[in-house]
């Protein structure tokens, strides 16, 4: 039986879109666009997160060797982004389809209002039968402002739009239990939501042209799957990979989804950089929060210390006694009231369960 996904995020990696010489592979881009168009004509909603701007820029301009790495990337991305979108627009137009460019930075996901504005834009594009082509705004995003890679961006977009699935097209068939180049390594067809450690069996090797590696992909995919979205990692160089993946005809690694989370919890899950403060909790509160299948809010009685200043509605980090991050939550009241209620019983929760996202597990 085919996978019945309706709203799909397709993330296309640099190594899929790029030839060995670092220039764009127009034949493969054309083939992928044809697949996307076919899925679109089947009534599916498709959002494309595409790398390749720097490669496109490299085919048009040669930056001075005296320029630093950041400046070179900015120039190549600024020039290449125009060509990349023009390529998508031309190829989709042949299929009577329209695309739109959406360039984003991490800053766009930090502020709740910016997040909602961006979400509304995406929804309007989909309602008008337009395919969003999303990429990081490399002209602005430098150093600490950058996403880890476009996998992280794709995960953010998938959770923002309550997608049914995120399809990550890489240059390997999926996640292996060792180096993919080692004949003894085997592909892992499914990864459960309960899987916690990837570093023991996943190769740390990075791709040739992309910024991320398989460990990064695994952690991002696992996080998105925990929020109720199926994630597949497959080889984007496989012929007709998208329709065949949906028909279960190609090998891939499927991160099985957990129960669906609310849209606000999905935003909280990706808001670590937006956190305004932190709370240190005791062992009893930690055990209560991390006990599986138990909906528990964070109460002041379990809080040992308040770190930083925050207001009602701010994102706060939740740390155990040793300072280890346990998760993120939306504060029900400010740090001043939290200090007044520190360690007290019979008080309103500092973080309600519905607005709590835990990243750690009991153990």
Measured CA to CA in angstroms, residue 304 lies from 47, 173, 322, 329, 356 at distances of 44, 47, 11, 16, 18
Task: Please tell me the number of Cα atoms within 13 Å of 339 on its side-chain side.
Answer: 10
40 is in an annotated binding site: no
- Nearby residues of 279 by Cβ (< 8 Å), 6 or more positions away: 298, 303, 305, 306, 307, 316, 317, 318, 319, 338, 350
51 is in an annotated binding site: yes
Q: Say how far apart CA 348 and CA 363 lie, in whole Å.
A: 28
Q: Smallest Cα–Cα separation from 105: which of 64, 70, 134, 128? A: 134
Cβ(77)–Cβ(139) below 8 Å: yes
H helix and E strand count, the chain? 12, 13
173 is in an annotated binding site: no
Q: Say how far apart CA 209 and CA 211 lie, in whole Å.
A: 7
Q: Torsions phi, psi of 71, nearest 5?
A: -65, -40
170 is in an annotated binding site: no
Name the binding residues for substrate. 51, 138, 150
Name the binding residues for ATP. 11
Name the binding residues. 11, 51, 138, 150
């Amino acid at each position: 039986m085919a996978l019945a996904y309706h709203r799909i995020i397709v993330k296309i990696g640099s190594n899929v879109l790029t030839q060995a010489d670092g220039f764009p592979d127009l034949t493969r881009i054309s083939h992928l666009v044809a697949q996307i168009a076919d899925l679109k004509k089947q009534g599916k909603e498709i959002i494309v997160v595409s790398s390749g701007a720097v490669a496109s820029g490299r085919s048009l301009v040669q930056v001075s060797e005296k320029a630093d790495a950041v400046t070179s990337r900015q120039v190549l991305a600024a020039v290449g982004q125009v060509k990349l979108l023009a390529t998508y627009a031309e190829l989709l137009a042949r299929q009577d389809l329209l695309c739109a460019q959406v360039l984003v930075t991490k800053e766009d996901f930090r502020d709740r209002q910016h997040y909602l504005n961006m979400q509304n834009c995406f929804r309007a594009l989909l309602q008008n039968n337009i395919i969003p082509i999303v990429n990081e705004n490399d002209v602005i995003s430098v150093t600490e402002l950058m996403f880890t890679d476009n996998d992280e961006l794709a995960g953010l977009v998938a959770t923002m739009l309550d997608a049914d699935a995120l399809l990550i097209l890489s240059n390997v068939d999926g996640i292996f239990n060792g180096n993919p180049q080692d004949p003894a390594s085997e592909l892992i067809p499914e990864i459960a939501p309960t899987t916690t450690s990837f570093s023991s069996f996943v190769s740390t090797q990075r791709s040739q042209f992309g910024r991320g590696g398989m460990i990064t992909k695994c952690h991002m995919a696992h996080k998105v799957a925990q929020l109720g979205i199926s994630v597949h990692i497959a080889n984007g160089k496989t012929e007709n990979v998208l329709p065949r993946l949906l028909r279960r005809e190609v090998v891939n690694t499927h991160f099985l989804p957990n129960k669906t989370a609310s849209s606000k919890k999905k935003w909280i899950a990706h808001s670590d950089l937006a956190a305004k403060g932190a709370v240190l909790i005791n062992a009893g509160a930690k055990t209560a929060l991390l006990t599986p299948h138990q909906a528990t809010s964070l109460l002041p009685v379990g809080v040992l210390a308040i770190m930083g200043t925050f207001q009602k509605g701010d994102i706060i980090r939740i740390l155990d006694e040793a300072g280890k991050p346990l998760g993120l939550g939306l504060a029900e009241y400010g740090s001043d009231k939290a200090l007044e209620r520190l360690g007290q019983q019979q008080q309103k929760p500092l973080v309600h369960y519905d607005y709590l996202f835990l990243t750690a597990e009991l153990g």
